[in-house]
Chain A
Amino acid sequence: MTGAPLPLASQPSGMRAWLLSPEPHSRWQARLGRFYLGWRAFSRNPLAVIGLGIVLLLILVAIFADVIAPYSPVAGGDLRTQRLLPPSEAYWFGTDDQARDIFSRVIHGSRITLFVVVLVALIAMPIGLLVGTVSGYLGGWVDTVLMRITDIFLAFPRLILALAFVAALGPGIENAIIAIAITSWPPYARIARAETLMIRNSDFIAAVKLQGASTPRIILGHVVPLCLSSLIVRVTLDMAGIILTAAGLGFLGLGAQPPMPEWGAMVATGRNYLIDQWWVAAMPGIAIFVVSLGFNLLGDGLRDVLDPKAAK
């Protein structure tokens, strides 16, 4: 055990030299070296690291929810003796009006939150990126048409459109996700378009044009990678808003349906007992707060690393 620290201490320096080598020997070394430089800039910001820690914790908790949660998130205990118990050793976050363990429900709720966040990002980001880069790169009437469509979507108040959507398609977490995704892509399209307008006339795009590259190839291979970083930052910063919108829809009874342990819906049921049994609403509320804060901190840190205008 005493011999262990020495090789460990010398290994990182060898690793670092390899990562920071000015003459990488392979595609992977070049890519990892770049990634390492980004990580070094990122880790200099302690708040950003805390944000990353919170997001990683959310992911781990969501993956291992079955192992971590001591009770079932759906089935309650004895309704005569175990309703609305305060936090204790047996029930860390207390129990709710159905005699369910709130800790287990919050743990399982992380899955729903992560599901919402990942799906919205997976739907909204590609749409925004594609609309923005195509519109910015092609210009002309394509730009006009796509941007007016974007304007129309931007003009809808997000929560109201989501409400209308859910009302039309019926309540449920999937419909809530679609509704949120549909209302969150226009800002991404705007950002991607602005970035594209900046680079479309640059020499390196002209150079690849002169090599005979097709328009899709230029957009996907040369324009999109440069728009991606500022978009990732924006999406990460928007995550908090997405979580809050999903929770808001759940609170209004239009998102996740009972007995799903969705945090917003949990806050809604806790509303009835707010004065006497504060933990019913407070525990999921704290979870929403912590995760939103985590995404905000992470987004701020990523902006420092990825934003090309801030880069040295």
Chain B
Amino acid sequence: MLDIQNLNVVFGTGRLRVEAVKNVSFHVEQGAAYGLVGESGSGKSTVLRAICGLAPITSGRVSVDGNAVTTPRGKAFYRTVQMVFQDPYASLHPRHTVDRTLSEPLAIHGEKDAEARILQALKEVGLGPSFRFRYPHQLSGGQRQRIAIARALILRPKVLLLDEPTSALDASVQAEILNLLDDLRRRLGLTYILVSHDLAVVAHLCERLLVMQHGEAVEETTAAALRSGAASNDYTQSLIQASQGFTRVAPQPAQAPAA
């Protein structure tokens, strides 16, 4: 469905030159969920932004559904690929009601029957019609992210790019949104690319994943291997260790009664 070959993204020139993504390749099957994992600044979000045209493709090939993408992207591309952003507080227009936010993509693509499509989209993300005319400031973080997902899905895309969709939300809402995303993928047959620094989130949602560091692909592995703690690469190991939280060195409390 989505094929990335030797992708390079370079920002700036001369002394300000930054190689954000270096020679990254991966392939995602139709209906699969693929994770991109790494610490801050590893270039994982830049890969997403390069796919959808928000960052330049310096060299390499990005093809969706077998067709190489064009710059600038055409309307057909945006009907196939949509994105959900990290911060639901920043990704909704503060002066637009939910209704306006959801009707905008329909208007851009000349879709008919906006009324029914908006209500349908709200239902899909588990929100009732009572949310339709609210402003973003009248919604909670989780509700906002649901609206952002509804907006991404209203054009019926095949690929959804998820840029840390839950990292701005608190734990219980995170689980709700992840379950919603998982459910939507199954029902609508979507293909996901999920960017996250949270290994638990990636292991929950994705089958395969790519570990990135300093703009380079370090290791491609599966969620099952991640859960069992098997990783051939040192960096991946250290990520797994970090995700298990801080552990006190064991011997000290054991020695205390003896002394």
Q: Give A contacts to B, CB under 8 Å.
A: 22-27, 29-30, 34, 202-204, 206-214, 217, 221-222, 225-226, 308
Provide the main secondary structure of the chain B interface: loop
Residue B247 is within 8 A (CB to CB) of chain A in the complex: no
Instruction: Say what secondary structure dominates the interface of chain A.
Output: helix
Contact of B93 among A24, A30, A204 (CB under 8 A): A204
Bound Cα distance A272, B221 (Å): 93
Apart from the given pairs A204-B93, A210-B52, 15 other A-B contacts in the complex at a CB distance below 8 Å: A27-B133, A30-B133, A30-B135, A203-B91, A207-B85, A208-B104, A209-B54, A210-B53, A210-B54, A210-B78, A210-B83, A211-B105, A212-B78, A212-B79, A212-B109
* 23 CB-based A-B contacts, threshold 8 Å: A22-B134, A24-B133, A27-B97, A27-B99, A30-B99, A30-B133, A34-B135, A202-B90, A203-B86, A203-B90, A204-B92, A207-B151, A208-B104, A210-B52, A210-B53, A210-B78, A210-B82, A211-B82, A211-B104, A212-B77, A212-B105, A212-B109, A308-B94
Instruction: Give the 3 A-B CB pairs with smallest separation, nearest first.
Output: A212-B78, A203-B91, A24-B133
Closest to B151 in A: A207
Asked whether A23 and B134 contact (CB < 8 A) given A206-B85, A210-B82, A211-B78, the answer is yes
**B9: CB under 8 A from chain A?**
no
Among A30, A203, A211, A214, which residue has its beta carbon within 8 angstroms of that of B97? A30
In the complex, are the beta carbons of B134 and A24 less than 8 A apart?
yes
Contacts of B131 in A (CB 8 A): 23
Q: Hey, which bits of chain B sit against chain A, CB under 8 A?
A: 52-54, 73-75, 77-79, 82-83, 85-87, 90-95, 97, 99, 104-105, 108-109, 130-131, 133-135, 138, 148, 151, 155
The residue in chain A whose Cβ has the minimal distance to the Cβ of B93 is A204
Determine the distance from Cα of A27 to Cα of B134 in the docked complex, in whole angstroms: 9
Q: Contacts A222-B93, A226-B95 hold; do A217 and B133 have CB atoms under 8 A apart?
A: no
Q: How far is the CA of A23 from the CA of B129 in the complex (A)?
A: 9
